[in-house]
């Protein structure tokens, strides 16, 4: 079973569930409905796990060519491609049923759009154009929409602000990963931006641009009465920390600095979530 569990990418799923929980937290009115939250998280987890599995099924040949992915369950031979396909499909169907019956129709439709755009658009595009990163950022930013829709039944400007924060955060994060593993991606024929332009000039500019865009967008919850001043201070400090890492890689395009951007992104998002929760909680 550990090989099937590995197909679901649990560490990524946990981050997705954090984003879903944040959306639910901001969408709720009145007492916290833990049962509804449970259904929303379970349905999202099933969809995320199934999508990760089918993504690996689709990319099994490319994964076998990359050092960082050659030990995954399918290329290593621990799980056959056919079994992985039906496992992933079953998880996605179960997730859709869970959201439709356990939560509401809106969450199920958002979940369906997320899975479809990820598997039908983003995954095949990775071997055609570096713009796949931008396409993949849309399904990557939908978890807070699912959570918000689960709690509120509609999507308001608050939900879209949370979406925008995750959307922009993904670019420095994934460009840094692509930079670190550009040789692997090139070997597998995956056209990430650092593969297309190996000198890193365009990649570093994209990292800096999106880090700078993220800073003012991350302040919007404070300015639009979603949170208070404590969140604003935390978001400003975290944003400055993130931008500093981006400026560093733009000035000195090295693998070390790209890794620092990745570390900064991994630190930034959970701490921003904590600030969102704590200041929102203080205002309830």
Q: Rounded CA gap, 215 and 166, in Å? A: 12
pLDDT at 264: 97
- Please state which architecture CATH assigns to domain 156-284: Up-down Bundle (1.20)
Fold match between domain 1-153 and domain 156-284? no
Number of other CB atoms surrounding residue 258 within 10 Å:
26
Strands (E), 80-235: none
Please enumerate in sequence order all residues whose Cβ is within 8 A of that of 33, keeping only pairs 6 or more positions apart, or say none: 151
- Please state which architecture CATH assigns to domain 1-153: Orthogonal Bundle (1.10)
Q: Rounded CA gap, 67 and 267, in Å? A: 26
Structural domain spans, the chain: 1-153, 156-284
| Measured CA angle at 262 (ends 142, 246), to 5 deg | 100
Q: Which residues in the chain show pLDDT less than 70?
A: 281-284
pLDDT digits (tens, 9 = 90+) for 12-38: 999 999 999 999 999 998 888 999 999
pLDDT at 68: 87
Measured N-to-C along each axis, helices 157-180 and 10-27 cross at an angle, to the nearest 10 degrees, of 160
pTM recorded for the entire structure: 0.93
């Amino acid at each position: 079973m550990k090989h099937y569990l590995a197909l679901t990418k649990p560490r990524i799923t946990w981050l997705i569930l954090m984003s879903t929980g944040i959306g639910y937290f901001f969408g709720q009115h009145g007492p916290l409905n833990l049962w509804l939250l449970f259904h929303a998280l379970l349905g999202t987890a099933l969809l995320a796990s199934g999508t990760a599995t089918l993504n690996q099924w689709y990319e099994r040949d490319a994964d076998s060519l990359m050092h960082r992915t050659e030990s995954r369950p399918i290329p290593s031979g621990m799980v056959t491609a056919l079994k992985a396909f039906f496992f992933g499909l079953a998880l996605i169907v179960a997730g859709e049923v869970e959201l439709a019956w356990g939560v509401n129709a809106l969450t199920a439709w958002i979940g369906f759009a997320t899975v479809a755009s990820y598997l039908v658009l983003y995954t095949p595009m990775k071997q055609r154009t570096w713009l796949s990163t931008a396409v993949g950022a849309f399904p990557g930013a939908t978890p807070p929409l699912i959570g918000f829709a689960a709690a509120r039944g509609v999507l308001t400007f608050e939900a879209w602000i949370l979406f925008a924060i995750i959307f922009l955060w993904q670019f420095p994060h994934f460009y840094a990963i692509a930079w670190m593993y550009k040789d692997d991606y090139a070997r597998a024929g995956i056209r990430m931006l650092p593969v297309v332009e190996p000198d890193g000039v365009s990649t570093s500019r994209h990292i800096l641009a999106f880090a700078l865009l993220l800073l003012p967008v991350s302040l919007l919850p404070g300015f639009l009465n979603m949170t208070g001043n404590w969140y604003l201070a935390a978001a400003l400090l975290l944003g400055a920390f993130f931008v500093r890492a981006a400026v560093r890689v733009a000035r000195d395009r090295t693998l070390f600095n790209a890794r620092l951007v990745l570390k900064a992104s991994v630190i930034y998002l959970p701490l921003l979530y904590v600030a969102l929760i704590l200041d929102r909680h203080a205002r309830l």
